[in-house]
Amino acid sequence: MPEGSVKKRPVIKYELIAPCGMNCALCYAYLLRKNSCPGCLGGDADKSKSCLNCVIVNCETLKATGSKYCSKKCEKYPCRRLKDLDRRYRTKYHMSMIENLESINEIGIRAFVRNEKARWTCPECGGMICVHTGRCSECGPKKLQPSIAFHR
């Protein structure tokens, strides 16, 4: 980082934490669209096709209970769909949706978002590390690892 420059502070809005526990601010589609995607809890304009067709965000139980997160008010939590998604993300991207939801339940959304900022901020430039590529959205090609989880 050039001398005298100020590190960017990543912005993670509470609305960017999806019902499944995904932090949409780390999503490749969100970062590719230069933060124009409203996240899973936002309106449908500017969403990627995969987000529009997501079975979890379109879950009838989630809609019927009016809950923001799968871990609240659902008798089937964690359901098969969430477990499958969690297993895929643990294996490919070293992130757990279920662990994220448990953390939200335990410490609250504000503390969870603070921890996510610390965990996924690029130490080089202050940009966001993409969960799907492991690369900083700002400074590029060098693969980075997120900091150790701060969840608990």
Tell me what pLDDT residue 20 has: 94
Q: Where are the beta strands (DSSP E) in 1-152?
A: 135-136, 140-143
Tell me what pLDDT residue 147 has: 65
Rounded to the nearest 5 degrees, what angle is found at the Cα of 115, between the Cα atoms of 132 and 127?
50
Token pair recorded at residue 63: 């809609």
CA 130 to chain centre: 9
Q: How far apart are CA 104 and CA 109, in angstroms?
A: 5
Tell me what pLDDT residue 133 has: 92
Cis peptide bond prior to 78, omega within 30° of 0:
yes
Cα-trace Rg, the chain:
15
For the chain (152 residues), the mean pLDDT of every run of 10, in chain order, is 52 87 90 79 80 88 88 90 95 94 95 93 89 89 62 43
Greatest CA separation for the chain: 54
Tell me what pLDDT residue 104 has: 95
